[in-house]
Amino acid sequence: MKFSKATNYALHTMLHLSAAEPNRLTGVQQLADQQQVSPTYLSKILTKLAKAGMVESSSGANGGYRLRRNWEELSFLDVIHAIEGTTSLFECHLNHGSECLIEQVMMKAEGTMEDYLRQQKLSDLTAQMRAHLHR
């Protein structure tokens, strides 16, 4: 199982934005430089995050991105779904329907993983990161 690079960049971008000064806009170039990724590529990721209502954008010379209000409730799963979509990781192609024993095991495993990722909040990581920086 593998998440896309876009999900990796999205999670890191969200963490960076969560650590930024509240209401301060961060430019895409700064975010891209920090992750050593193309600003064009990161802009596409940020567009998905904006469409999902996770970030707000402002255009212009002093434009950039910031987290939306109540961002503290965003989970890893929210970010993953914004980038990857909500399609199931496993799909049985043998047309057994809901009686497929293999699909039942895989769906239960996916549900357990999603429950865990739903519990992991970006704000928890932000608090850990800040505590680490202040040591």
Which is more confident, 45 or 135?
A: 45
Q: 11-28 pLDDT, tens per residue?
A: 999 999 998 887 789 999
Residue 98's CB is within 10 A of a number of other CB atoms, namely: 8
- What band does 134 get if pLDDT is binned at 50, 70 and 90? low
pLDDT at 96 over 90: no
The secondary structure of residue 94, as a DSSP letter, is: S
pLDDT at 26: 94
Dist. CA 105–CA 34, nearest whole Å? 40
Rg over CA atoms, the chain: 17
Residue 111 has pLDDT above 70, yes or no: yes
Domain ranges (residues) in the chain: 5-133
For the chain, percent of residues with pLDDT exceeding 90: 62
> Distance between terminal CA atoms of the chain?
36
List CB contacts of 3: < 8 A, sequence separation 6 or more: 80, 84
Say which CATH architecture domain 5-133 belongs to: Orthogonal Bundle (1.10)
What is the Cα–Cα distance from 9 to 31, expressed in whole angstroms? Answer: 10
State how far the Cα of 128 lies from the Cα of 45, in Å rounded to an integer: 25
Mean pLDDT of 100-108: 90
